[in-house]
Every structure is written in structure tokens, then in C-alpha cells.
A = this chain, B = another copy of it.
């Protein structure tokens, strides 16, 4: 394993130290492992807190800032954060209008956020939680842990963040978050596994011409292994999976997300194919993100997330945002 780390035990705090130095507009509590806006909570604004395992950067720490999150709680690599982090973040961002927890659907995240919600109630902070579960590779069923939360988290954080910034009350912010999640679907394809610092070798092995279809964002193997194909066919496999689950039509918000080890030039190639696919279905990529947003350490591959837009969601998507990883349209 060749990684730019000092010690497998100190990966997260060392990275937080760098994040803090690079972004004076954030307040990074390295001890408690929470990342906040330096400006602190705005009275009367709903606070947005997300969190999850590290290794998905820029998710979530890179999305803290004006128009998006108020706090992020990074756990150990691929391990959900713990309740004491989250309760501290929740308390810190509470401006009196309650706090929305944005939770990706993984047992660990769900359980730890659930404990946090109980603790928050004890502290008289009104907390609501939205569960993001957009990954169609996992079949949803009451007999399973349900779909994973992946790329749609970025959409939920951006759009709910914009509404919170506009001063909407908690139940409306929750509602729009749930709506974005309901309209969003993701599917990922891995060309390689990833290597966690703790393990030091790839979580799974893939042959020279093999890929994994339906990967998650933790180096989990996918649902099936398949032969490598041209970008056009891979984009089509992913889009078909999304379309089968929720037919694609109209103005669509599209993210072609790199898993961490894939160059941007390749993501643009995939995006071009996605645009063609959408056109076939009479839809179009009205808004888009192409780049590394929800990564899985050094994994090579991509995921596609789509979200059917309406006028209101488009306006909220377009609203100013100023975070390390997403920024546009902010008045200075």
C-alpha cells in the first residue's frame, strides 16, 4: 500500500488538520471531529448536519458552508461517526429552529444518528432526519437493510441547504429533502476496488478485464461481476438500471461522479454518453455535476445519480452555495 498518510491511526485527524488550514471559512474541531461553518449558527435558521465514514471526500466535510451544510461529522474511514460527535455538532448548529440530520442509509449511520436523535430530544433540540437511499443496485425490501445512500446525498444537502438558508422551517426543509431523495436514483460501476489504510490491500480483486456492477461507496463488491466494456456501454448499463427503477423524463439533474481514482477526462466521456441516453428518453441534463463528489478512497470507477427536477427544485439547486467543493452564484 502506498498512501499519503503518516499513520493508519491518524488518517482522519491529520486530514482534518489540513482541511482546517485550507479553509479558514470552516471551523474544524479536530478533537471532537466536527466541521462547522466558522460563522456559527444563524438564529432562526434550520441547522443541517450530516456525517458518515471518512474516505468519501469531499462528502461531507467539503459541503459545509453557506447554502449547504452547517456541520459535518466525519467518522473513521468507512465507519459511521459516533453519537457524541453528532450531538455536539447538532448543539453547535442549532439556531433555535431545529436541526435536520441527513443520514445515508447504512445500518451504522442509521443507528448512530438514531442514538443522537434520542440524546438531542433530551437536550430539547428539535431534530428531524432524512434517510437517503438512492442506490438502485440494492433491492429495497423490508427484509433487507434497504437501499444504500450514495450520490443523492449531494443533491439532498444542496437543495435542503438552499431552502434552510432561505429561512424555511424544519418540516419544510425535511419535506424537500425527502422529495429530492424520492426523485433520485444512483448506480455505480467499479473498475477497481479500493484500499483502506487499515487493511493495506484492495478490499476485493478484479481481473484485468473485469468490473463490478452495482458497487457501493465503501469498497464493497457489487451485485455482479462483468466484463469490461466501452464507456458508452457502461453508461448505458447504469442508466438502464436507473430508468428501470424510476423512469427518466424531463429536466433532470445529473451527477457523473468519480470514485476517487478516475481522471476527470474519463468522467466527461461518460457524461457525454449520459446526455445521449437522456435525449433518447426525451429527457435532458438540465443541471449537472461531473467530478469527484462521493468517492470511495482510490477506487477507479464512477456512479451516476439522477434527480427529476421541477421549477422549485431547479431554483433551489441554482441558489448560491459556497463550500469547499461546491460553489456558485454567491453574492460577495
Contact A15–B268 (Cβ < 8 Å): yes
Chain B residues, Cβ within 8 Å of A95:
none
Number of copies: 2
- Which B residue's beta carbon lies closest to that of A301? B4
| A192 contact from B2, B260, B269, Cβ within 8 A | B2
User: Using a CB-CB cutoff of 8 Å, which residues 1-26 of chain A contact chain B?
Assistant: 2-7, 11, 14-19, 21-22
Interface readout for A42-78 with B: 1 if CB under 8 Å, 0 if not?
Answer: 0000000000001101100010000000000000010
Q: Does A199 contact B (CB under 8 A)?
A: no
Contact A295–B5 (Cβ < 8 Å): no
Q: Does A264 contact B (CB under 8 A)?
A: yes
Q: How far is the CA of A300 from the CA of B262 in the complex (A)?
A: 10
Chain A interface mostly helix, strand, loop or mixed? mixed
Q: How far is the CA of A189 from the CA of B292 in the complex (A)?
A: 22
Contact B328–A290 (Cβ < 8 Å): no
Chain B residues, Cβ within 8 Å of A228:
2
Q: Does A170 contact B (CB under 8 A)?
A: no
Interface readout for A309-332 with B: 1 if CB under 8 Å, 0 if not?
Answer: 000000000001010000111111
Contact A2–B191 (Cβ < 8 Å): yes
Taking the nearest CB of chain B, how far is it from the CB of A61, in angstroms? 9
**13 additional A-B residue pairs with CB within 8 Å, beyond A6-B230, A264-B295:** A2-B228, A2-B300, A4-B234, A4-B270, A5-B230, A6-B269, A17-B275, A21-B285, A54-B265, A261-B298, A322-B328, A327-B328, A330-B330
A-B residue pairs in contact (CB < 8 Å), sample of 11: A3-B191, A3-B266, A4-B269, A6-B230, A6-B231, A11-B265, A15-B268, A18-B275, A57-B268, A261-B298, A330-B332
